[in-house]
A and B are shown apart, each in its own frame.
Chain A
Amino acid sequence: MTDFVPARYFTPLLAAFFFLMFAGDAAAARIGELVQTDPWQQMRRFFTFSDPGLRLGLIGALLFGATCGLLGSFIVVRKMALIGDAISHAVLPGVALGFLWSMDKDPLAILVGATIAGLTGSLVVELIQRTTKIKQDAALGIVLASFFAVGLCLIRMIQNNNGASKITGLKSYLFGDIAVLDRQDILTITAVVIITVLLVVLLYRPLLTIGFDREFAYSIGLPVKLLDGIFQLFLAFSIVVALQAVGVVLVSALLITPAAAAYLLVNRMHHMLWVASAIGMLSAVLGVFFSFLGSNLPTGPFMVLGASSVFLVAYLFAPRHGRVTRWLRHRSRRRDVSNENTLKSIYRILEQGAANGAGNVVQIDKLAGERRVSKAELLTDLRRLRRIGAVDLIAQGRDVMLTDAGLQRARRVVRNHRLWEVYLTNEAAYASNHVHDDAEKIEHFLSEEKVAEIEHQLDYPEVDPHGKPIPGRIGA
């Protein structure tokens, strides 16, 4: 756990926060009050941080982006994405009640109200599942929409009873508006984020255990129910923290999408937490940037699109699981196999002709016959082999000559093939006329060590089951 929160990562971040928070207020209007929207000018304003409202918004975005990524990771690995969605909708009546209670946009009252509503929502889902035969999906749907409807009614009632002045404040909770964040909101968010991060650090291992293997967690005596409760509390917290800037409707996307992107990028949970937090921050900042370019645009959808773009990049280009990277890897592996098969054919022709002293040169027509491909296809393969320096085309492209590197590689493949045939015949008791197809596949993937091991185990055979000589070890 010590590698989880190295202080050195936090120091620069904290410095940036304080700079953004207390830097002198330049003479600039708040984001929402801007009327003229020249995108270039807005972009300049964005990158010079000359707008105090924007500075606060960015701090908030970085903070809750990180928290959402952190907790979203647990949600994604626990397959709770739709639960997160339901709970995020269910906080709406809490927001309205918190507003009613304080009769103002008091962040603390709204935080408490929303957290209570979110927890009540998840409790009701649990209760419906336990006491009736209604299944989880329907229970989630019921809670999501019913709570949301109550919230909508409450908001409309508040709007009816109060002047238009306070409506904007409350309406930003639906689709998000980063411009309404003030210093008090930021302080509340910071406090919640610190508590959440601390709890995640302290409870990292237990939370991981109940997420991956509940039976095991019970068996080692973890308080699973309590931990579940704490996790629900976190979830409500993170939703509430992001609420004002992202909006009730889309906040669940900021939980799921960055974590899902991280899930595609890395394999270990503590790496995933880091990457998801970083992506969450990036998405949030992207959202602030794009919604800042126009005026009076809701922030939430842009943050979601930011997260989705990052996810798309991860989906396509993730080093191991990306679609494009996987396709490229596949292609290069297919080419390797095809290259090696061509080299092997050349070697076998040479082997047959070795007695009449033909050297390293083979006629292309003969090779095409051996490979059973058209001459044009073969030439494409041979040019590829020439690029990697395995063969040379001579006699105006009528003959092909193996280079030293090509010969070595061909010998290696043939050696692998024939050794594997001996291995299957001797050790696995295959009939000697059934071993070729298997060897044909594995010859490309046997590592040097494996081959050495097999050779040792077979006591250095010299011929394969069909009586053909096994080429000696490379360099031997």
Chain B
Amino acid sequence: MNLHRIFVEPWQSHASHYWPVFAMAFFVTVACGLIGNYLVLRRISLVGDAISHSVLPGIAIAFILTGSRSGTPMFIGALVAGVAATLLIEVLHSRSRLKQDAAIGITFSTLFAIGVILISIHGAHTDLDLDCVLFGKMDFLPGREPVFLGVPGVTVTMAVVAICVGLLIIIFYKELLVSSFDPSLAASMGINPRLVHYLLMAILSVVVVAAFISVGAILVIAMLILPAATACMLSDRLWLMMILSVLHAFISSLGGVHLAVALQVPTAPASVVVGAVCFVVVWIVSPRQGLISLWLRSHRADRAPEVRSAGNV
């Protein structure tokens, strides 16, 4: 393999192409990774998946009606579809004997199917086709005219979203922390846990919709969960997890760009692959929860059984 082509050329002769791609990948993974920490903590990771699938018909209808790829109509469409999905899940779950998992599965697959049909009828050879749903269009972002520091408008939007997410998390750090770990304590401190939950869902929807055009509907769940899951194997502190997930986002987006060049594949799945590799590496070598330390500990425990009870508490 030609290392020069993979690692040097993107930043020299093709910098004007790869710089915006990297910037987009980084902002998407950072925004998703930060909000993903709360999804993992609250054990609602798959809600991100459900939202990204459910908003598809809304995005498709907005795109077909307006014919434009500007953000506002798509966002409104996505919002309507997202709210409809939430209501449907609630109705199916609370008004029948179905359990929540089945209600979620039925709702999001139905909405997603409607979206796929609409796109395959109307969307062929446009910016919104089935390839976009699967792979994302990170490498060929629509409207590539650079508007700021050589990056196109959608990337600037994503950057603004990422910065807003970061700021909101800093401002409401305590509220989010307490309501994620102990809702009743939060209530006793005067924080409304339901309000925090809906706020979180609203931020999540904004992030998912903003990221849609670059990563599609399916891969976004990886961007949401992998950074947080990797971070939580390294630390118990939420602020440290946040910093680690930003680091994970940086590594996976940078590595993703290079892997995409090396294998000639789209950047979005390549970033997820790099992120997954990071996860596996941490899973193996993490000092406290890693497979190696786990194995060492059980090995030691075999020889000295009295350590076991102390070690595994």
Residues of A within 8 A of B (CB): 76, 79-82, 84-85, 89, 128, 131-138, 140-142, 144-146, 148-150, 152-153, 156-157, 160, 174-175, 249-250, 252-253, 256-257, 260, 263-264, 294, 296-298, 300-302, 304-305, 308, 311, 315, 321, 323
**Is there contact, CB below 8 Å, between B99 and A79?**
yes
- A19: min CB distance to chain B, Å: 31
B84 at the interface (CB under 8 A from A): no
B307 at the interface (CB under 8 A from A): no
With A80-B101, A141-B224 as contacts: A257 and B48 at CB distance below 8 Å: no
Partner pick for A250 among B46, B109, B269, B279, CB 8 A cutoff: B109
**Is there contact, CB below 8 Å, between A144 and B289?**
no
Complex Cα–Cα for A457 and B208 (A): 68
Complex Cα–Cα for A133 and B49 (A): 21
Complex Cα–Cα for A225 and B230 (A): 29
B44 at the interface (CB under 8 A from A): yes
**Is there contact, CB below 8 Å, between A76 and B102?**
yes
Partner pick for A264 among B96, B114, B276, CB 8 A cutoff: B96
- A285: min CB distance to chain B, Å: 16
Partner pick for B229 among A136, A142, A315, CB 8 A cutoff: A142
**Is there contact, CB below 8 Å, between A82 and B109?**
no
Taking A141-B221, A144-B221 as given, write out 16 further A-B residue pairs in contact, using a Cβ cutoff of 8 Å, ordered by the A residue number: A76-B99, A141-B45, A145-B272, A146-B276, A148-B219, A148-B269, A149-B222, A149-B270, A149-B276, A152-B134, A156-B263, A156-B265, A253-B109, A256-B109, A257-B105, A308-B106
Contacts of B117 in A (CB 8 A): 297-298, 301-302, 305
Among A133, A146, A150, A302, max chain B CB count under 10 A is at A146
**Is there contact, CB below 8 Å, between B265 and A150?**
no
With A82-B104, A131-B289, A157-B265 as contacts: A249 and B272 at CB distance below 8 Å: no
B contacts with A: majority SS: helix
Q: Across the interface, name the chain B residue whose C-beta is closest to A323.
A: B95
Complex Cα–Cα for A144 and B219 (A): 9
A/B interface sample: 6 pairs, CB < 8 A: A81-B101, A135-B43, A142-B226, A250-B116, A252-B105, A257-B106
Contacts of A146 in B (CB 8 A): 222, 226, 272-273, 275-276, 279
Partner pick for B109 among A132, A133, A141, A252, CB 8 A cutoff: A252
Complex Cα–Cα for A235 and B101 (A): 17
Complex Cα–Cα for A153 and B270 (A): 7
B157 at the interface (CB under 8 A from A): no
**Is there contact, CB below 8 Å, between B97 and A321?**
yes
Partner pick for A256 among B102, B113, B266, CB 8 A cutoff: B102
Complex Cα–Cα for A157 and B232 (A): 33
**Is there contact, CB below 8 Å, between B134 and A145?**
no
Contacts of A315 in B (CB 8 A): 92, 96
Contacts of B106 in A (CB 8 A): 253, 256-257, 260, 308, 311
A contacts with B: majority SS: helix
**Is there contact, CB below 8 Å, between B218 and A148?**
yes
Complex Cα–Cα for A302 and B53 (A): 16
B176 at the interface (CB under 8 A from A): no
Contacts of A294 in B (CB 8 A): 121
- B207: min CB distance to chain A, Å: 15
**Is there contact, CB below 8 Å, between B225 and A253?**
no
B233 at the interface (CB under 8 A from A): yes
**Is there contact, CB below 8 Å, between B44 and A137?**
yes
**Is there contact, CB below 8 Å, between A132 and B283?**
yes
Enumerate B81-129 residues with CB–CB distance to A below 8 Å.
Answer: 92, 95-99, 101-102, 104-106, 109-110, 112-114, 116-117, 120-121
Contacts of B201 in A (CB 8 A): none
Q: Across the interface, name the chain B residue whose C-beta is closest to A143.
A: B276
Contacts of B228 in A (CB 8 A): 138
Complex Cα–Cα for A128 and B289 (A): 11
Contacts of B206 in A (CB 8 A): none
Complex Cα–Cα for A82 and B109 (A): 11
Among B106, B218, B228, B232, max chain A CB count under 10 A is at B106
Complex Cα–Cα for A148 and B270 (A): 11
Contacts of B112 in A (CB 8 A): 249-250, 301, 304
B64 at the interface (CB under 8 A from A): no
B130 at the interface (CB under 8 A from A): yes
**Is there contact, CB below 8 Å, between B276 and A304?**
no
Contacts of A157 in B (CB 8 A): 263-265
Contacts of A175 in B (CB 8 A): 116, 120, 130
**Is there contact, CB below 8 Å, between B276 and A150?**
yes
With A146-B273, A149-B273 as contacts: A308 and B279 at CB distance below 8 Å: no
Complex Cα–Cα for A65 and B121 (A): 25
Complex Cα–Cα for A148 and B101 (A): 21
Partner pick for A152 among B40, B113, B269, CB 8 A cutoff: B269
Contacts of A302 in B (CB 8 A): 113, 117
B135 at the interface (CB under 8 A from A): yes
**Is there contact, CB below 8 Å, between A128 and B116?**
no
- A453: min CB distance to chain B, Å: 32
Partner pick for B225 among A76, A80, A142, CB 8 A cutoff: A142
**Is there contact, CB below 8 Å, between B45 and A140?**
yes
Contacts of A81 in B (CB 8 A): 99, 101-102, 104-105
B294 at the interface (CB under 8 A from A): yes
With A149-B219, A297-B117 as contacts: A253 and B110 at CB distance below 8 Å: yes
- A391: min CB distance to chain B, Å: 37
Complex Cα–Cα for A462 and B283 (A): 80
Complex Cα–Cα for A305 and B110 (A): 6
Contacts of B291 in A (CB 8 A): 131
With A131-B294, A137-B43, A304-B109 as contacts: A142 and B98 at CB distance below 8 Å: no
Partner pick for B218 among A84, A89, A150, A153, CB 8 A cutoff: A89
Complex Cα–Cα for A444 and B254 (A): 73
Complex Cα–Cα for A11 and B229 (A): 52
Contacts of B130 in A (CB 8 A): 174-175, 298
**Is there contact, CB below 8 Å, between A304 and B226?**
no
Enumerate B38-71 residues with CB–CB distance to A below 8 Å.
Answer: 39-40, 43-46, 48-49
**Is there contact, CB below 8 Å, between A256 and B219?**
no
**Is there contact, CB below 8 Å, between A82 and B233?**
no
Complex Cα–Cα for A297 and B113 (A): 12
**Is there contact, CB below 8 Å, between B113 and A134?**
no
Contacts of A89 in B (CB 8 A): 218
